Structure 1
Amino acid sequence: MASARNPDCVAGGIPPQRLSKEELTKTHKTHLKNQDLSPDAPRPVKQPIMAEAYPASTKSIREVEIIPLSELSVETHHRGKGIIVKVISPPYIGAGVVSIVEDEFGNADKLAIYNQGDSSILSGVPEGCIVAVKEPYYMHNGADNDYMICVDHPSDVILLRFNDPVIPESLQLGPLLKSAEEWRVAGDTAFLEKDFPTAVFCYSEALEAAGEDATAFKAPIYNKRAGTNLILGRYDAAKADSLASRTGALSDWKAYYNAGRATYGLCEYRTSREYLETALELNPNVKGIRKEYERCLARLREEEHGEYDFQAMFSSLSPQNVHLDSGSFLSRTCVRKSKHHGNGLFATHAIKAGDLVFVEKATLMPNQYEPTRASAALYALMVRQLCDNPSLADTVLKLYPGEYERTGAEGTIVDGVPVVDIFLVEGIRTKNCFSAPLSTYEDTKPEVPTGRMAKGLWPHASYLNHSCVPNTMRSFLGDVLVSRAIRDIAEGEELFQQYVPVKALNDLRNSVLKDNWGFECGCGLCEGERRSSAAMLDKRREMLAKVERACNKRPPTKGAIVPDVSIKNIERLAKQLEDLHEEEVYGDLPRLTLVYPSNWLMEAYRGRKNHAKALKHGLRVLRNFGFGVPRDAEPAKVDWDPRGMYTGSGDASLMTIHVVAALRRLAESYGVLGQKELAKRCVEAAKFGYKVVTGFSTDLSALGQ
């Protein structure tokens, strides 16, 4: 986090001179005039730099030594220390919130608070508030004598109640309002003005001021705060407030209704059903309860039986509606220790090729399909939701964070808020997130805008280990991940997925895995290819480059006739490349370097209406992906059934959209050559494969011609 050093102050020393309160205030006012607070202005996110990581404080403000601002040392994390300050300026809101603050001795400084969500009042700290910063980090801010207190971890700063005894006497103002009723009215006013964080704060003050015996007064305040927390997406708090609002009367239907909505927001559908059933018993005439109850039952059917209307889900998708109302079907899988990397995901039932392995709704996924912003948006959402809903810690914070060391206190409640370490969050994000299109089905179409990719967190899917030739394939519908079996899977078998699209050369794909996840793949393809010598790998690399240059020079586009000389050249180069694959090494293994030239030749001969040759090279495409198909001498063999290739190709075949496209081309060629039954079987095999790739669709017309 350190920026340029002040030459007059070394790290760890107290600055010989700081800007005065007047200088700080003057500069701050200038910044305030220029800030853009329009609703459409994108708010930047300060993402963490892992090389400068430091742990969040796990101490209470009541356990640390309170020091004056004048004792802060530059580029220092003041462990075991804390500061308590009053905000004496309006907030400047950018990537963080910058305010001018003052301690009990009149010392002033700049306070920058980052990573607070919009649901928190600390996302725009009101002037006059008292805040405590635990184990503050003090840094030079670039200009002469300019420093600031930098708060990266959201749980390191606490908004103190006005009458908190930890506040030094000279900063104590006493409550701004005198009575619980005044605080309630202030909360109602803030709610009507849609200032929901302030409304929650005021309702909390009203509850505190009402005392322990004011049950009749407090019940509706709890109900109001529950409703406000529901709007903010703070479902844990909404649930607690709803249950606290109960009085034992028939009117408690509102409490159970709101508790049901809160637990629904947490995807706890069984608990939600119980609360909603109680609400219906107390008041069966409210249509809203019945509607929520029916929604909950639909989610439970999805969870328990894997019953989904994928077509309806797809039809409801749009760039403005990516968060589908859906449950997660996970009962066919479980997490266990893996012999490969830590934990893995295993099948609890035998699963047939093409069947659902699991369906998971994202725990966290922002609606941000701009690749340059998607990572920052997911990081910000993870931090906010872990602050707003501490129960998420059990799901999210136990995921693998890379090399970052945990303190073990992350997610625990200290000073009323969960400890959220942004560096742990970022480690978890980078090692476990998925890139997701709006829908995989749309992504297979010829005319799709490029670069539309969001990032999300699907914790259950994160336990899948990698294989270059996996037994499952994932697809996306908005924030729903669909996993289908590529081939038959036995009960107890470990499940695998591809972390990234597989590269043709063994060393290149493993370097990606090593750089991003710290391991090399041990799948059958990688282990087999490692038996090939380094010299042969270099020869394949060199020849592949020649093949790719030649193919790219004249691609077989639709309607274009590729000259014979170009085709003969590619055939010659492809044969030379094929000869560089040792039979004793590859056998039935995929030969991925040959996929591109085989596909090129299939399309080139199709363009020339030479369907016998197109058939020959289409079969080679499938064989180079590792599928068992007829050899060149018998391409039109009538007893070959492509519908069985998904279950009869062992555990080293690779499923991609290119396999589906090749099957379509084979169907066309078989049809022209009079092999109608084989053409029909290829279409059926293509539809089957397309469902695996897209998650639900068998409409091959979407692929275009």
Structure 2
Amino acid sequence: MAATKGAAKAAVPARRLTKEELVKTHATHLKKQNNSPNAPRPVKQPVISDAYPASTKSIRELEIIPLSELQPETHHRGKGIIVRAVSPPFLGAGAVSIVEDEFGNADKLAIYNQPDSSILSAVPEGCVVAVKEPYYKNNGAAGDYMICVDHPSDVILLRFTDPIIPEALRLGPLLKTADEWKNAGDRAFIEKDFPTAVFCYTEALEAAADDATFQAAIYAKRAGTNLILGRYDAAKADALASRTGGPQDWKAYFTAGRAAYGLCNYAESNTLLTTALDLQPSNPAIQKEHARCQARLHEEATGEYDFAAMHASLGGGVHLDRGSFLRHTRVAPSRHHGRGLFATRDFAAGELVFAEKATLMPNQYEPARASAALFALVVRQLCDNPSLAGAVLALHAGEAADAVRTGMEGAVVDGVPVVDVFVVEGIRTKNCFSAPRSTLEDTRPSVPEGWAAKGLWVHASRMNHSCVPNTMRSFVGDMLISRATRDIKEGEELFQQYVPVKALPDVRNEQFKKGWGFECECALCASERRSPEAMLAKRKELLAAVEKLCNKKLPGKELVPDATIRAVDRLAKQLEDAHEPDVYEGVPRLTLIYPCNWLVAAHRGRKNHAKVVKYALKVLRNFGFKVPEESEAWDPREMYAKSGDATLMTVHVVAALRTLADAYKALGHDEMAERCIEAAEFGYMIVTGSKNDLTTLDK
């Protein structure tokens, strides 16, 4: 039955634009397109509130209806249409073509979210397609309607000889023999029209069904073409299908090994490449790929990385050739939010917990386009490489997107995997991370604000949030590095910050509810819930007063008037007194960090080093670290391991330690200054993911 968005069933339109009207208008769009052939194509990201499920039926299970029976604003469940493109496509956010059915009815067909590895991303004139359970919509003008295909798996490119095509739409095979199709595929390959080459090679295979030798050669050609397109699942299958049992099978194993490598399946890649090397021991290309694979397996087993080389290679792109080190963590049920990530051994503060190469990450660092680029990449990879579906689609997508799940997402129907764009967008919004090109660069003042890409790291996405987490993530290209911020015991759940935490508990928890649908249960949030509303309001009022007085800025090199310092100090003391000892015992006091940092900067400008020490220590205590009062001796190098379970590690902790070192040195306490520098360097390693020169903070 047809399903409508409204309560009443929509009627068939009294009038639709004629074929002539459609073609005329379409021609004007094509003319504009031809005038700007290199204009970038936008991405149509789905609106979750409009979510509807992708079709899970085969086109052969559906009732084929004519275009004249389509009803506006309706999802035609249980129905399908078969149409032929009678115009070139107009390429915008989708590919819009004029199509007609077997009865001569014409309409517009808009196909969105197709990977550019598919012919359907720009349907050639004359191709016949099937649309499953089509959605029909009005474009705003009288008689102007369009078949809108959001889910890429809802439209199928039919082979010219497919018996489901009505007789009136049949053109017959454009080419007759397998050789003709092979030659057409070769021409398309030379012209770098790889999707068409794959189509032609597929037709050649069908035409040569009884010639195993010919088919082996075509499988090899199609495997290589699929490898170029990044369709690694298909490339591997084709390569293995091209084997003949002869000595030249090394080529099949070599291509299959490279395809498995593209999927980051390094163990499988190693097996395939080893077989290729056994058949062709002196081949330098195989030797190179085999050695590369061995390096990835070493990284997976040991977690040993050349971080300096990784940083140095970023000039050539952000997709690093590295393996993921995940073996000391596991996914298991969590008492917090369904499932989480757990330690399988003890970790010392600062130790590498895991390092993960992005499952999917576009090389797009403009904030306005990064989200759309990631969405498009996830859709493409799920279409092109169905083996990714299990890991990616198992992620939480949010209540609205999860509501349209059918359980068939990722299943192959009519030769293509079912891809629901609303589920994909839900997964993206709930699980992606914003990532600088490198966290080391991001700690420098010269980095433009908001200059970040977005990526999906499936393993890291399993971690639950805490405002006082026991790990900290950093990035080098598409590698996510997770280090322990304190000592962690085997079996302990691992936590990370989803976003930098806000100082006020009501503000940050509203962010968590809106973004992820949960209320944080970490030690800090649990403690602050015991504070009366009146005290929360008082702290909020005092913090606002400090921020207003200071214009929400820290002092620079200018000399701050004594009166201003006294006023801020007075407000800071009042704010400190507004933190109940029983509530804030052993947890950070985030509202005090800004005023204390301001006082550090103000006293540093006046070279009042004793006061700098006093307030820098307060900064560390307000981040939850157990440090003494200024008069007591202490070893800052031990603060990471000995500060308890509710500390908050940020680059501001590193900055406070550096400031302390300068102040201690100025006061003649050289040994304490050296200890603070060592502690700062250790903290900077946690923040940036690897050991780096602390002076880069000033660049």
- Please say whether Structure 1 and Structure 2 have the same fold, judged by a TM-score greater than 0.5: yes
Q: CA deviation at 1:38?
A: 5.8
Match of 2:381 among 372, 379, 385: 385
- Counterpart of 1:247 in structure 2: which amino acid? T
What secondary structure does 1:629 align onto? coil
Q: CA deviation at 1:588?
A: 2.7
Q: Is the 8 A contact 1:441 1:697 kept in 2?
A: no
- Between 1:267-276 and 1:543-552, the stretch displaced more is 543-552
Q: Structure 1 residues 348, 555: CA separation in 2 closer, same or farther (over 3 Å shift)?
A: closer
Q: CA deviation at 1:450?
A: 1.6
**Corresponding residue for residue 306 of structure 2:** 309
User: Aligned partners of 1:399 and 1:620: how far apart in 2?
Assistant: 40
- Counterpart of 1:580 in structure 2: which amino acid? A
**Corresponding residue for residue 541 of structure 1:** 540
User: Aligned partners of 1:37 and 1:287: how far apart in 2?
Assistant: 47
**Corresponding residue for residue 469 of structure 1:** 468
User: Aligned partners of 2:325 and 2:416: how far apart in 1?
Assistant: 32
Matched, 1:676 2:675: no
**Corresponding residue for residue 376 of structure 1:** 372
- Counterpart of 2:255 in structure 1: which amino acid? N
Match of 1:569 among 559, 567, 570: 567
User: Aligned partners of 1:372 and 1:531: how far apart in 2?
Assistant: 40
Match of 2:28 among 9, 27, 30: 30
TM-score, with length taken from structure 1: 0.97
Match of 1:247 among 234, 244, 247: 244
Q: Structure 1 residues 214, 38: CA separation in 2 closer, same or farther (over 3 Å shift)?
A: farther
User: Aligned partners of 2:531 and 2:35: how far apart in 1?
Assistant: 61
Q: CA deviation at 1:554?
A: 6.9
**Count of residue correspondences:** 691
User: Aligned partners of 1:284 and 1:524: how far apart in 2?
Assistant: 59
User: Aligned partners of 1:587 and 1:222: how far apart in 2?
Assistant: 68
**Corresponding residue for residue 229 of structure 2:** 232
**Corresponding residue for residue 697 of structure 2:** 703
User: Aligned partners of 1:249 and 1:553: how far apart in 2?
Assistant: 73
What secondary structure does 1:100 align onto? strand
**Corresponding residue for residue 582 of structure 1:** 580
- Counterpart of 1:454 in structure 2: which amino acid? A
Q: Describe how 1:43-82 pairs up with structure 2 within 5 A.
A: 43-82=41-80
Q: Deviations over 1:584-640 (max 9, x none)?
A: 2112321111101111111111111111110111100000101011114x1xx33x1
- Between 1:600-609 and 1:231-240, the stretch displaced more is 600-609
User: Aligned partners of 2:418 and 2:586: how far apart in 1?
Assistant: 52
What secondary structure does 1:317 align onto? helix
Q: Is the 8 A contact 1:259 1:275 kept in 2?
A: yes
What secondary structure does 2:491 align onto? coil
User: Aligned partners of 1:134 and 1:37: how far apart in 2?
Assistant: 34
Q: CA deviation at 1:551?
A: 2.0
**Corresponding residue for residue 555 of structure 2:** 556
**Corresponding residue for residue 359 of structure 2:** 363
Q: Describe how 1:484-563 pairs up with structure 2 within 5 A.
A: 484-552=483-551, 555-557=554-556, 559-563=557-561
Q: CA deviation at 1:451?
A: 1.9
Q: CA deviation at 1:486?
A: 0.2
Q: Describe how 1:376-455 pairs up with structure 2 within 5 A.
A: 376-403=372-399, 404-405=402-403, 406-455=405-454
What secondary structure does 1:132 align onto? strand
Q: Structure 1 residues 276, 429: CA separation in 2 closer, same or farther (over 3 Å shift)?
A: same
Q: CA deviation at 1:199?
A: 0.3
Matched, 1:298 2:329: no
User: Aligned partners of 1:23 and 1:470: how far apart in 2?
Assistant: 62
TM-score, with length taken from structure 2: 0.97
- Counterpart of 1:683 in structure 2: which amino acid? I
Q: Is the 8 A contact 1:11 1:75 kept in 2?
A: no
What secondary structure does 1:178 align onto? coil
Q: Deviations over 1:441-468 (max 9, x none)?
A: 0000121112211111001000100000
What secondary structure does 1:250 align onto? coil
Q: Is the 8 A contact 2:554 2:601 kept in 1?
A: no
Q: CA deviation at 1:579?
A: 1.0
**Corresponding residue for residue 174 of structure 2:** 176
User: Aligned partners of 1:21 and 1:678: how far apart in 2?
Assistant: 83
Q: Structure 1 residues 541, 474: CA separation in 2 closer, same or farther (over 3 Å shift)?
A: same
User: Aligned partners of 1:588 and 1:105: how far apart in 2?
Assistant: 76
Q: CA deviation at 1:11?
A: 6.0
What secondary structure does 2:59 align onto? coil
Query: 4+ runs of 1 displaced by more than 6 Å?
Result: none
Match of 1:594 among 581, 592, 595: 592
Q: CA deviation at 1:37?
A: 8.0
Match of 1:153 among 151, 160, 166: 151
What secondary structure does 1:35 align onto? helix
Q: CA deviation at 1:36?
A: 5.6
Q: CA deviation at 1:423?
A: 0.6
Q: Is the 8 A contact 2:354 2:482 kept in 1?
A: yes
**Corresponding residue for residue 644 of structure 1:** 638
User: Aligned partners of 1:227 and 1:38: how far apart in 2?
Assistant: 32
User: Aligned partners of 1:229 and 1:697: how far apart in 2?
Assistant: 40
- Counterpart of 1:654 in structure 2: which amino acid? L
CA RMSD of aligned residues (A): 1.3
User: Aligned partners of 2:636 and 2:478: how far apart in 1?
Assistant: 33
- Between 1:159-168 and 1:31-40, the stretch displaced more is 31-40
User: Aligned partners of 1:704 and 1:499: how far apart in 2?
Assistant: 27
- Counterpart of 2:69 in structure 1: which amino acid? E
**Identity in percent:** 70
- Between 1:28-37 and 1:139-148, the stretch displaced more is 28-37
**Corresponding residue for residue 348 of structure 1:** 344
User: Aligned partners of 2:662 and 2:35: how far apart in 1?
Assistant: 59
Q: Deviations over 1:107-141 (max 9, x none)?
A: 11100000001100000100000000000001101
- Counterpart of 1:407 in structure 2: which amino acid? T
User: Aligned partners of 2:232 and 2:129: how far apart in 1?
Assistant: 25
Q: Structure 1 residues 225, 688: CA separation in 2 closer, same or farther (over 3 Å shift)?
A: same
Q: Structure 1 residues 554, 501: CA separation in 2 closer, same or farther (over 3 Å shift)?
A: closer
What secondary structure does 1:316 align onto? helix
User: Aligned partners of 1:19 and 1:228: how far apart in 2?
Assistant: 41
User: Aligned partners of 2:184 and 2:107: how far apart in 1?
Assistant: 31
What secondary structure does 1:222 align onto? helix
- Counterpart of 2:603 in structure 1: which amino acid? Y
Match of 1:687 among 681, 691, 694: 681
What secondary structure does 2:61 align onto? coil
- Counterpart of 1:501 in structure 2: which amino acid? P
User: Aligned partners of 1:225 and 1:313: how far apart in 2?
Assistant: 34
**Corresponding residue for residue 325 of structure 2:** 329
User: Aligned partners of 1:336 and 1:41: how far apart in 2?
Assistant: 47
Q: Is the 8 A contact 1:554 1:562 kept in 2?
A: no
Q: Is the 8 A contact 1:100 1:108 kept in 2?
A: yes
Matched, 1:460 2:459: yes
Q: Deviations over 1:369-417 (max 9, x none)?
A: 1111111111111001000000000110010111122100110000000
Q: CA deviation at 1:698?
A: 3.0
**Corresponding residue for residue 143 of structure 1:** 141
Q: CA deviation at 1:39?
A: 6.9
- Counterpart of 1:72 in structure 2: which amino acid? L
Q: Is the 8 A contact 2:378 2:424 kept in 1?
A: yes
Q: CA deviation at 1:697?
A: 3.1
Q: Deviations over 1:487-537 (max 9, x none)?
A: 000000000000110111111111100111111111111111111100000
Match of 1:87 among 85, 88, 105: 85
Which runs of 5 or more structure 2 residues have no equivalent in the other structure? none
Q: CA deviation at 1:553?
A: 6.9
Q: Is the 8 A contact 2:439 2:688 kept in 1?
A: yes
User: Aligned partners of 2:51 and 2:219: how far apart in 1?
Assistant: 39
Q: Deviations over 1:76-129 (max 9, x none)?
A: 100000000111000101000000001001111100000001100000100000
User: Aligned partners of 2:247 and 2:176: how far apart in 1?
Assistant: 33
Q: Structure 1 residues 254, 374: CA separation in 2 closer, same or farther (over 3 Å shift)?
A: same
Q: Is the 8 A contact 2:554 2:597 kept in 1?
A: no
What secondary structure does 1:62 align onto? helix
Q: Deviations over 1:147-191 (max 9, x none)?
A: 010000000000000000111111112110010000000000000
Q: Is the 8 A contact 1:11 1:74 kept in 2?
A: no
What secondary structure does 2:544 align onto? helix
Q: CA deviation at 1:677?
A: 1.2
- Counterpart of 2:442 in structure 1: which amino acid? D
User: Aligned partners of 2:164 and 2:35: how far apart in 1?
Assistant: 34
